[in-house]
Structure 1
Amino acid sequence: MRVEIWSDIACPWCYIGKARFEKGLAAFAHRDRVEVVFRSFELDPHSDPARAVPVVEMLARKYGRTLDEARAMEEHVAATAHAEGLSYLLDGRDHGNTFDIHRLLHLAAARGRQDALLDLAFRTHFADERSVFDPEVLIGIAVGAGLDGAEARAVLADPTAYADEVRADEREAAELGANAVPFFVLDRKYGISGGQPAEVFTRALEQAWAGREVEEPEAGAEACEADGACAVH
Protein backbone atom coordinates (compact mmCIF):
# COMPACT_ATOMS: atom_id res chain seq x y z
CA MET A 1 0.00 0.00 0.00
CA ARG A 2 1.21 3.49 -0.81
CA VAL A 3 0.23 6.54 1.22
CA GLU A 4 0.99 9.93 -0.32
CA ILE A 5 0.91 12.97 1.94
CA TRP A 6 0.69 16.48 0.56
CA SER A 7 2.07 18.97 3.08
CA ASP A 8 4.01 22.18 3.59
CA ILE A 9 6.72 22.89 6.15
CA ALA A 10 4.95 26.17 7.02
CA CYS A 11 1.78 24.30 8.05
CA PRO A 12 1.54 23.52 11.78
CA TRP A 13 -1.25 21.00 11.17
CA CYS A 14 1.07 19.15 8.77
CA TYR A 15 3.62 18.92 11.59
CA ILE A 16 0.95 17.64 13.98
CA GLY A 17 -0.73 15.52 11.31
CA LYS A 18 2.52 13.72 10.49
CA ALA A 19 2.94 12.75 14.13
CA ARG A 20 -0.67 11.55 14.35
CA PHE A 21 -0.40 9.58 11.12
CA GLU A 22 2.76 7.86 12.35
CA LYS A 23 0.98 6.85 15.56
CA GLY A 24 -1.91 5.53 13.49
CA LEU A 25 0.46 3.67 11.19
CA ALA A 26 2.29 2.12 14.15
CA ALA A 27 -0.99 0.54 15.25
CA PHE A 28 -1.65 -0.93 11.79
CA ALA A 29 -0.83 -4.64 11.52
CA HIS A 30 0.59 -4.37 7.99
CA ARG A 31 2.63 -1.20 8.62
CA ASP A 32 5.80 -2.80 7.20
CA ARG A 33 4.10 -3.04 3.81
CA VAL A 34 3.12 0.63 3.65
CA GLU A 35 5.21 3.00 1.54
CA VAL A 36 4.90 6.65 2.61
CA VAL A 37 5.70 9.40 0.10
CA PHE A 38 5.55 13.11 0.83
CA ARG A 39 4.32 15.47 -1.87
CA SER A 40 4.76 19.21 -2.27
CA PHE A 41 2.10 21.80 -1.52
CA GLU A 42 2.91 25.50 -1.05
CA LEU A 43 0.61 27.45 1.22
CA ASP A 44 1.99 30.82 0.19
CA PRO A 45 3.69 30.36 -3.21
CA HIS A 46 3.62 34.07 -4.07
CA SER A 47 5.50 35.23 -0.98
CA ASP A 48 8.87 36.88 -1.49
CA PRO A 49 11.58 34.17 -1.43
CA ALA A 50 14.06 36.71 -0.09
CA ARG A 51 11.98 37.84 2.88
CA ALA A 52 10.65 35.99 5.91
CA VAL A 53 8.40 37.65 8.50
CA PRO A 54 7.52 36.80 12.12
CA VAL A 55 4.62 34.32 12.26
CA VAL A 56 2.54 36.30 14.77
CA GLU A 57 2.84 39.48 12.71
CA MET A 58 1.83 37.58 9.57
CA LEU A 59 -1.24 36.10 11.29
CA ALA A 60 -2.31 39.48 12.65
CA ARG A 61 -2.02 41.13 9.24
CA LYS A 62 -3.71 38.28 7.34
CA TYR A 63 -6.72 38.01 9.65
CA GLY A 64 -6.98 41.63 10.76
CA ARG A 65 -6.30 40.66 14.38
CA THR A 66 -4.29 42.29 17.12
CA LEU A 67 -0.91 40.81 17.97
CA ASP A 68 -2.40 39.42 21.20
CA GLU A 69 -5.21 37.73 19.27
CA ALA A 70 -2.74 36.28 16.77
CA ARG A 71 -0.61 34.99 19.62
CA ALA A 72 -3.69 33.30 21.10
CA MET A 73 -4.16 31.50 17.76
CA GLU A 74 -0.60 30.25 18.03
CA GLU A 75 -1.15 29.19 21.64
CA HIS A 76 -4.03 26.95 20.54
CA VAL A 77 -1.82 25.22 17.97
CA ALA A 78 1.02 24.93 20.48
CA ALA A 79 -1.25 23.26 23.03
CA THR A 80 -2.35 20.72 20.42
CA ALA A 81 1.26 20.04 19.42
CA HIS A 82 2.32 19.59 23.05
CA ALA A 83 -0.54 17.11 23.56
CA GLU A 84 1.03 15.02 20.77
CA GLY A 85 4.42 15.15 22.45
CA LEU A 86 5.79 17.73 20.01
CA SER A 87 7.82 20.81 20.88
CA TYR A 88 6.41 24.10 19.60
CA LEU A 89 7.93 27.57 19.96
CA LEU A 90 5.58 30.50 20.46
CA ASP A 91 8.32 33.06 19.86
CA GLY A 92 11.15 33.33 17.37
CA ARG A 93 9.46 31.63 14.41
CA ASP A 94 9.04 33.19 11.00
CA HIS A 95 7.01 32.58 7.85
CA GLY A 96 8.28 32.61 4.29
CA ASN A 97 8.42 31.02 0.87
CA THR A 98 8.91 27.23 1.06
CA PHE A 99 9.69 26.43 -2.59
CA ASP A 100 13.40 25.77 -1.93
CA ILE A 101 12.55 23.45 0.95
CA HIS A 102 10.26 21.45 -1.33
CA ARG A 103 13.01 21.20 -3.94
CA LEU A 104 15.38 19.81 -1.32
CA LEU A 105 12.71 17.33 -0.21
CA HIS A 106 12.63 15.97 -3.75
CA LEU A 107 16.41 15.63 -3.70
CA ALA A 108 16.07 13.81 -0.38
CA ALA A 109 13.44 11.49 -1.89
CA ALA A 110 15.85 10.61 -4.69
CA ARG A 111 18.49 9.77 -2.07
CA GLY A 112 16.17 7.84 0.26
CA ARG A 113 16.32 10.51 2.97
CA GLN A 114 13.00 12.31 2.52
CA ASP A 115 11.39 11.38 5.84
CA ALA A 116 14.56 12.28 7.75
CA LEU A 117 14.78 15.67 6.06
CA LEU A 118 11.12 16.44 6.63
CA ASP A 119 11.37 15.55 10.32
CA LEU A 120 14.40 17.78 10.79
CA ALA A 121 12.83 20.64 8.82
CA PHE A 122 9.62 20.46 10.86
CA ARG A 123 11.56 20.26 14.12
CA THR A 124 13.76 23.20 13.19
CA HIS A 125 10.85 25.35 12.03
CA PHE A 126 8.48 24.67 14.92
CA ALA A 127 10.76 23.82 17.83
CA ASP A 128 14.08 25.56 17.17
CA GLU A 129 15.03 29.23 17.11
CA ARG A 130 16.90 28.77 13.83
CA SER A 131 15.13 29.79 10.63
CA VAL A 132 14.55 27.24 7.87
CA PHE A 133 14.39 30.21 5.50
CA ASP A 134 18.12 30.84 6.02
CA PRO A 135 19.92 28.93 3.22
CA GLU A 136 22.83 28.01 5.50
CA VAL A 137 20.46 26.59 8.10
CA LEU A 138 18.67 24.67 5.36
CA ILE A 139 21.93 23.16 4.14
CA GLY A 140 22.78 22.19 7.72
CA ILE A 141 19.41 20.46 8.01
CA ALA A 142 20.07 18.61 4.75
CA VAL A 143 23.44 17.39 6.02
CA GLY A 144 21.86 16.39 9.32
CA ALA A 145 19.35 14.29 7.37
CA GLY A 146 22.16 12.45 5.59
CA LEU A 147 22.41 14.41 2.34
CA ASP A 148 25.65 15.56 0.80
CA GLY A 149 26.18 19.23 1.67
CA ALA A 150 27.73 20.16 -1.67
CA GLU A 151 24.86 18.53 -3.56
CA ALA A 152 22.26 20.29 -1.40
CA ARG A 153 24.04 23.61 -1.95
CA ALA A 154 24.11 23.03 -5.70
CA VAL A 155 20.36 22.34 -5.73
CA LEU A 156 19.63 25.56 -3.84
CA ALA A 157 21.89 27.50 -6.21
CA ASP A 158 20.00 26.23 -9.27
CA PRO A 159 16.37 27.43 -9.20
CA THR A 160 15.43 24.86 -11.86
CA ALA A 161 16.65 21.84 -9.86
CA TYR A 162 13.63 19.72 -8.89
CA ALA A 163 11.33 22.64 -9.71
CA ASP A 164 9.37 20.53 -12.19
CA GLU A 165 8.85 17.83 -9.57
CA VAL A 166 7.45 20.36 -7.10
CA ARG A 167 5.09 21.81 -9.71
CA ALA A 168 3.97 18.31 -10.74
CA ASP A 169 3.03 17.52 -7.12
CA GLU A 170 1.06 20.75 -6.91
CA ARG A 171 -0.80 20.03 -10.14
CA GLU A 172 -1.70 16.58 -8.86
CA ALA A 173 -3.03 18.08 -5.64
CA ALA A 174 -5.29 20.37 -7.67
CA GLU A 175 -6.47 17.46 -9.82
CA LEU A 176 -7.30 15.47 -6.70
CA GLY A 177 -9.28 18.39 -5.32
CA ALA A 178 -6.92 19.07 -2.42
CA ASN A 179 -7.17 22.69 -1.31
CA ALA A 180 -5.91 22.17 2.24
CA VAL A 181 -3.09 20.25 3.88
CA PRO A 182 -2.19 17.82 5.23
CA PHE A 183 -3.93 15.70 2.60
CA PHE A 184 -3.49 11.93 2.66
CA VAL A 185 -4.14 9.65 -0.33
CA LEU A 186 -4.26 5.87 0.13
CA ASP A 187 -3.41 3.87 -3.00
CA ARG A 188 -4.81 6.68 -5.17
CA LYS A 189 -8.31 5.57 -4.14
CA TYR A 190 -9.11 7.28 -0.85
CA GLY A 191 -8.41 10.78 0.42
CA ILE A 192 -8.30 12.05 4.00
CA SER A 193 -7.98 15.76 4.76
CA GLY A 194 -6.59 17.38 7.89
CA GLY A 195 -4.68 16.36 10.97
CA GLN A 196 -7.09 13.60 11.99
CA PRO A 197 -6.70 11.65 15.27
CA ALA A 198 -4.35 8.66 15.10
CA GLU A 199 -7.19 6.15 15.37
CA VAL A 200 -8.82 7.60 12.24
CA PHE A 201 -5.68 6.85 10.26
CA THR A 202 -5.45 3.32 11.65
CA ARG A 203 -9.07 2.62 10.74
CA ALA A 204 -8.61 4.06 7.24
CA LEU A 205 -5.51 1.92 6.65
CA GLU A 206 -7.36 -1.18 7.80
CA GLN A 207 -10.35 -0.46 5.58
CA ALA A 208 -8.19 0.28 2.54
CA TRP A 209 -6.12 -2.87 3.12
CA ALA A 210 -9.28 -4.96 3.26
CA GLY A 211 -10.49 -3.43 0.01
CA ARG A 212 -13.40 -1.66 1.64
CA GLU A 213 -14.30 1.94 0.95
CA VAL A 214 -12.75 4.19 3.55
CA GLU A 215 -15.34 5.85 5.79
CA GLU A 216 -15.46 9.63 5.65
CA PRO A 217 -13.75 10.95 8.81
CA GLU A 218 -15.81 13.11 11.09
CA ALA A 219 -15.64 16.88 10.54
CA GLY A 220 -13.41 18.91 12.80
CA ALA A 221 -9.91 18.03 11.59
CA GLU A 222 -7.62 21.00 11.45
CA ALA A 223 -5.76 21.92 8.27
CA CYS A 224 -4.06 24.79 6.47
CA GLU A 225 -5.67 26.10 3.30
CA ALA A 226 -3.99 27.13 0.07
CA ASP A 227 -4.32 30.82 0.95
CA GLY A 228 -2.23 30.23 4.04
CA ALA A 229 -5.17 30.13 6.43
CA CYS A 230 -5.02 27.51 9.19
CA ALA A 231 -8.38 26.67 10.72
CA VAL A 232 -10.83 23.97 11.78
CA HIS A 233 -12.77 22.19 9.02
Structure 2
Amino acid sequence: MRVEIWSDIACPWCYVGKARFEKALAAFPHRDGVEVVHRSFELDPGRAKGDVEPVHAMLTAKYKMSEAQALAGEDRLGAQAAAEGLDYRSRGRDHGSTFDLHRLLHLAADHGRREALLDAFYRANFAAERSVFTDDDHVVEVAVAAGLDKDAVRAVLADPTAYAERVRADEREAAALGVTGVPFFVIDRAYGVSGAQSAEVFTDALTRAWGERAPLAPAAPGAEVCGPDGCAVDGAGSGAGA
Protein backbone atom coordinates (compact mmCIF):
# COMPACT_ATOMS: atom_id res chain seq x y z
CA MET A 1 0.00 0.00 0.00
CA ARG A 2 1.31 3.44 -0.90
CA VAL A 3 0.80 6.66 1.06
CA GLU A 4 1.70 9.87 -0.76
CA ILE A 5 2.11 13.00 1.34
CA TRP A 6 2.05 16.47 -0.16
CA SER A 7 3.68 18.99 2.18
CA ASP A 8 5.77 22.15 2.43
CA ILE A 9 8.71 22.88 4.73
CA ALA A 10 7.17 26.24 5.59
CA CYS A 11 3.94 24.60 6.79
CA PRO A 12 3.76 24.10 10.58
CA TRP A 13 0.81 21.74 10.27
CA CYS A 14 2.87 19.58 7.90
CA TYR A 15 5.53 19.36 10.62
CA VAL A 16 2.94 18.35 13.22
CA GLY A 17 0.95 16.15 10.83
CA LYS A 18 4.01 14.14 9.85
CA ALA A 19 4.65 13.29 13.49
CA ARG A 20 1.03 12.23 14.02
CA PHE A 21 0.99 10.11 10.88
CA GLU A 22 4.25 8.42 11.87
CA LYS A 23 2.81 7.62 15.30
CA ALA A 24 -0.13 5.89 13.60
CA LEU A 25 2.11 4.10 11.10
CA ALA A 26 4.45 2.82 13.81
CA ALA A 27 1.53 1.08 15.52
CA PHE A 28 -0.06 -0.19 12.28
CA PRO A 29 0.18 -4.02 12.11
CA HIS A 30 0.95 -3.95 8.37
CA ARG A 31 3.43 -1.07 8.49
CA ASP A 32 6.11 -3.10 6.66
CA GLY A 33 3.73 -3.26 3.70
CA VAL A 34 3.28 0.52 3.51
CA GLU A 35 5.40 2.64 1.18
CA VAL A 36 5.51 6.34 2.06
CA VAL A 37 6.27 8.81 -0.74
CA HIS A 38 6.72 12.51 -0.04
CA ARG A 39 5.60 15.03 -2.66
CA SER A 40 6.37 18.72 -3.13
CA PHE A 41 3.88 21.51 -2.54
CA GLU A 42 4.68 25.23 -2.17
CA LEU A 43 2.38 27.32 -0.03
CA ASP A 44 3.89 30.46 -1.54
CA PRO A 45 4.96 29.46 -5.07
CA GLY A 46 5.19 33.00 -6.39
CA ARG A 47 7.66 34.18 -3.76
CA ALA A 48 11.10 34.99 -5.12
CA LYS A 49 14.25 33.69 -3.52
CA GLY A 50 15.56 36.43 -1.27
CA ASP A 51 12.08 37.71 -0.47
CA VAL A 52 12.26 36.84 3.22
CA GLU A 53 10.27 38.28 6.11
CA PRO A 54 9.44 37.38 9.71
CA VAL A 55 6.68 34.80 10.05
CA HIS A 56 4.47 37.06 12.16
CA ALA A 57 4.74 39.84 9.54
CA MET A 58 3.73 37.42 6.78
CA LEU A 59 0.75 36.23 8.85
CA THR A 60 -0.50 39.75 9.60
CA ALA A 61 -0.30 40.75 5.92
CA LYS A 62 -1.69 37.53 4.43
CA TYR A 63 -4.52 36.91 6.87
CA LYS A 64 -5.31 40.51 7.84
CA MET A 65 -4.79 39.83 11.52
CA SER A 66 -3.12 41.87 14.23
CA GLU A 67 0.41 41.14 15.35
CA ALA A 68 -0.96 40.00 18.71
CA GLN A 69 -3.26 37.53 16.96
CA ALA A 70 -0.39 36.24 14.82
CA LEU A 71 1.83 35.70 17.85
CA ALA A 72 -0.97 34.02 19.78
CA GLY A 73 -1.52 31.67 16.85
CA GLU A 74 2.16 30.80 16.83
CA ASP A 75 1.99 30.04 20.55
CA ARG A 76 -0.93 27.68 19.96
CA LEU A 77 0.99 25.94 17.19
CA GLY A 78 3.99 25.63 19.49
CA ALA A 79 1.81 23.89 22.06
CA GLN A 80 0.48 21.47 19.43
CA ALA A 81 4.02 20.69 18.30
CA ALA A 82 5.21 20.17 21.88
CA ALA A 83 2.38 17.69 22.44
CA GLU A 84 3.90 15.59 19.65
CA GLY A 85 7.41 15.86 21.11
CA LEU A 86 8.55 18.44 18.56
CA ASP A 87 10.62 21.56 19.20
CA TYR A 88 9.03 24.74 17.90
CA ARG A 89 10.23 28.36 18.05
CA SER A 90 7.15 30.56 18.12
CA ARG A 91 9.24 33.73 17.86
CA GLY A 92 11.98 34.87 15.52
CA ARG A 93 11.42 32.55 12.56
CA ASP A 94 11.57 33.62 8.91
CA HIS A 95 9.30 32.88 5.98
CA GLY A 96 10.58 32.60 2.42
CA SER A 97 10.57 30.58 -0.79
CA THR A 98 10.85 26.82 -0.31
CA PHE A 99 11.47 26.01 -3.98
CA ASP A 100 15.20 25.33 -3.54
CA LEU A 101 14.50 23.16 -0.51
CA HIS A 102 12.05 21.08 -2.52
CA ARG A 103 14.59 20.73 -5.32
CA LEU A 104 17.09 19.39 -2.80
CA LEU A 105 14.50 16.96 -1.46
CA HIS A 106 14.28 15.45 -4.94
CA LEU A 107 18.08 15.18 -5.04
CA ALA A 108 17.87 13.41 -1.69
CA ALA A 109 15.21 11.05 -3.06
CA ASP A 110 17.66 9.90 -5.73
CA HIS A 111 20.01 8.84 -2.94
CA GLY A 112 17.48 7.35 -0.55
CA ARG A 113 17.77 10.28 1.88
CA ARG A 114 14.54 12.19 1.30
CA GLU A 115 12.94 11.30 4.62
CA ALA A 116 16.11 12.24 6.50
CA LEU A 117 16.42 15.56 4.70
CA LEU A 118 12.74 16.42 5.12
CA ASP A 119 13.02 15.88 8.87
CA ALA A 120 16.22 17.93 8.94
CA PHE A 121 14.61 20.82 7.05
CA TYR A 122 11.60 20.78 9.38
CA ARG A 123 13.85 20.96 12.43
CA ALA A 124 16.00 23.65 10.85
CA ASN A 125 12.98 25.78 9.97
CA PHE A 126 10.85 25.34 13.06
CA ALA A 127 13.33 24.70 15.86
CA ALA A 128 16.73 26.18 14.97
CA GLU A 129 17.84 29.80 15.19
CA ARG A 130 19.57 30.09 11.80
CA SER A 131 17.24 30.73 8.89
CA VAL A 132 17.07 28.28 5.98
CA PHE A 133 15.83 31.14 3.78
CA THR A 134 18.70 33.60 4.08
CA ASP A 135 21.79 31.42 4.21
CA ASP A 136 22.58 28.84 1.52
CA ASP A 137 25.67 27.77 3.48
CA HIS A 138 23.37 26.75 6.31
CA VAL A 139 21.13 24.83 3.89
CA VAL A 140 24.22 22.98 2.64
CA GLU A 141 25.22 22.14 6.23
CA VAL A 142 21.75 20.77 6.99
CA ALA A 143 21.71 18.68 3.80
CA VAL A 144 25.20 17.27 4.39
CA ALA A 145 24.28 16.36 7.97
CA ALA A 146 21.30 14.47 6.51
CA GLY A 147 23.65 12.37 4.36
CA LEU A 148 23.99 14.26 1.06
CA ASP A 149 27.20 15.07 -0.77
CA LYS A 150 28.25 18.70 -0.32
CA ASP A 151 29.31 19.25 -3.94
CA ALA A 152 26.07 17.74 -5.24
CA VAL A 153 24.01 20.01 -2.99
CA ARG A 154 25.93 23.11 -4.06
CA ALA A 155 25.56 22.13 -7.71
CA VAL A 156 21.77 21.94 -7.37
CA LEU A 157 21.59 25.28 -5.58
CA ALA A 158 23.74 26.85 -8.30
CA ASP A 159 21.49 25.57 -11.11
CA PRO A 160 17.88 26.79 -10.74
CA THR A 161 16.71 24.26 -13.34
CA ALA A 162 18.01 21.21 -11.46
CA TYR A 163 15.07 19.11 -10.23
CA ALA A 164 12.75 22.03 -10.95
CA GLU A 165 10.53 19.96 -13.23
CA ARG A 166 10.14 17.27 -10.57
CA VAL A 167 8.87 19.86 -8.12
CA ARG A 168 6.46 21.26 -10.68
CA ALA A 169 5.28 17.76 -11.63
CA ASP A 170 4.38 17.07 -7.98
CA GLU A 171 2.50 20.35 -7.82
CA ARG A 172 0.61 19.67 -11.06
CA GLU A 173 -0.37 16.27 -9.74
CA ALA A 174 -1.62 17.86 -6.52
CA ALA A 175 -3.73 20.28 -8.54
CA ALA A 176 -5.15 17.41 -10.62
CA LEU A 177 -6.15 15.64 -7.41
CA GLY A 178 -7.82 18.77 -6.09
CA VAL A 179 -5.28 19.39 -3.33
CA THR A 180 -5.50 23.00 -2.22
CA GLY A 181 -3.87 22.78 1.21
CA VAL A 182 -1.28 20.70 2.99
CA PRO A 183 -0.51 18.36 4.55
CA PHE A 184 -2.54 16.10 2.29
CA PHE A 185 -2.27 12.32 2.49
CA VAL A 186 -3.36 10.08 -0.38
CA ILE A 187 -3.67 6.38 0.45
CA ASP A 188 -3.50 4.02 -2.53
CA ARG A 189 -5.18 6.74 -4.62
CA ALA A 190 -8.41 5.66 -2.90
CA TYR A 191 -8.49 7.74 0.29
CA GLY A 192 -7.57 11.35 0.93
CA VAL A 193 -6.83 12.69 4.39
CA SER A 194 -6.51 16.46 4.67
CA GLY A 195 -4.67 18.25 7.44
CA ALA A 196 -2.78 17.37 10.60
CA GLN A 197 -5.33 14.85 11.80
CA SER A 198 -4.98 12.90 15.01
CA ALA A 199 -3.07 9.62 15.06
CA GLU A 200 -6.42 7.90 15.55
CA VAL A 201 -7.80 9.31 12.30
CA PHE A 202 -4.70 8.16 10.42
CA THR A 203 -4.96 4.71 12.00
CA ASP A 204 -8.58 4.43 10.87
CA ALA A 205 -7.72 5.52 7.32
CA LEU A 206 -4.82 3.06 7.07
CA THR A 207 -6.95 0.22 8.45
CA ARG A 208 -9.84 0.88 6.08
CA ALA A 209 -7.58 1.25 3.05
CA TRP A 210 -5.72 -1.96 3.88
CA GLY A 211 -8.92 -3.90 4.42
CA GLU A 212 -10.55 -2.67 1.23
CA ARG A 213 -7.70 -3.40 -1.12
CA ALA A 214 -9.10 -5.30 -4.09
CA PRO A 215 -7.75 -8.84 -4.52
CA LEU A 216 -5.62 -9.35 -7.60
CA ALA A 217 -7.89 -10.47 -10.44
CA PRO A 218 -6.41 -12.55 -13.28
CA ALA A 219 -6.40 -10.71 -16.59
CA ALA A 220 -5.91 -13.97 -18.57
CA PRO A 221 -6.02 -17.74 -17.96
CA GLY A 222 -3.05 -19.10 -16.05
CA ALA A 223 0.08 -20.11 -17.95
CA GLU A 224 3.37 -21.69 -17.01
CA VAL A 225 5.01 -20.24 -13.93
CA CYS A 226 8.02 -20.80 -11.74
CA GLY A 227 7.58 -21.45 -8.03
CA PRO A 228 9.46 -22.75 -4.99
CA ASP A 229 9.45 -26.29 -6.43
CA GLY A 230 10.75 -25.29 -9.83
CA CYS A 231 9.22 -24.31 -13.16
CA ALA A 232 6.16 -25.96 -14.65
CA VAL A 233 6.72 -28.04 -17.76
CA ASP A 234 3.52 -29.40 -19.33
CA GLY A 235 1.76 -29.18 -15.99
CA ALA A 236 4.53 -30.90 -14.01
CA GLY A 237 7.16 -29.28 -11.90
CA SER A 238 10.74 -29.46 -13.10
CA GLY A 239 13.78 -29.26 -10.94
CA ALA A 240 15.33 -26.42 -12.92
CA GLY A 241 15.52 -22.99 -11.39
CA ALA A 242 14.69 -19.90 -13.37
TM-score (structure 1 length as normaliser):
0.89
Aligned to 1:182: 183
Aligned to 2:53: 53
Aligned to 2:167: 166
CA distance in 1, matches of 2:213, 2:151: 47
Residue by residue, what CA displacement relative to the aligned partner does 1:132-157 show, whole Å, maximum 9, x if unpaired?
A: 11211111111011000100110110
| Greater C-alpha radius of gyration | 2
Listed as ranges, the gaps of 5+ residues in structure 2 are: 215-242
Residue by residue, what CA displacement relative to the aligned partner does 1:106-137 show, whole Å, maximum 9, x if unpaired?
A: 00111000000000100010011111112111
TM-score (structure 2 length as normaliser):
0.86
CA distance in 2, matches of 1:206, 1:54: 41
Residue by residue, what CA displacement relative to the aligned partner does 1:78-103 show, whole Å, maximum 9, x if unpaired?
A: 11111111111012210000000000
CA distance in 2, matches of 1:63, 1:206: 37
CA distance in 1, matches of 2:208, 2:147: 35
CA RMSD of aligned residues (A): 1.2
CA distance in 2, matches of 1:156, 1:80: 33
1:212 positional shift: 6.2
Residue by residue, what CA displacement relative to the aligned partner does 1:31-83 show, whole Å, maximum 9, x if unpaired?
A: 11111111000000111211211001111122222221210111111111111
1:130 equivalent to 2:139? Answer: no
CA distance in 1, matches of 2:170, 2:48: 21
Moved over 6 A (4+): none
Aligned length: 213
Aligned to 1:25: 25
Q: Percent identity?
A: 64
Aligned to 1:98: 98
**Larger relative CO (CA 8 A, sep 6+): 1 or 2?**
1
What secondary structure, in the 3-state scheme, does the structure 1 residue paired with 2:197 have? coil
CA distance in 1, matches of 2:181, 2:66: 25
With 109-118 and 126-135 compared, the bigger mean Cα shift is at: 126-135
Aligned to 1:217: none
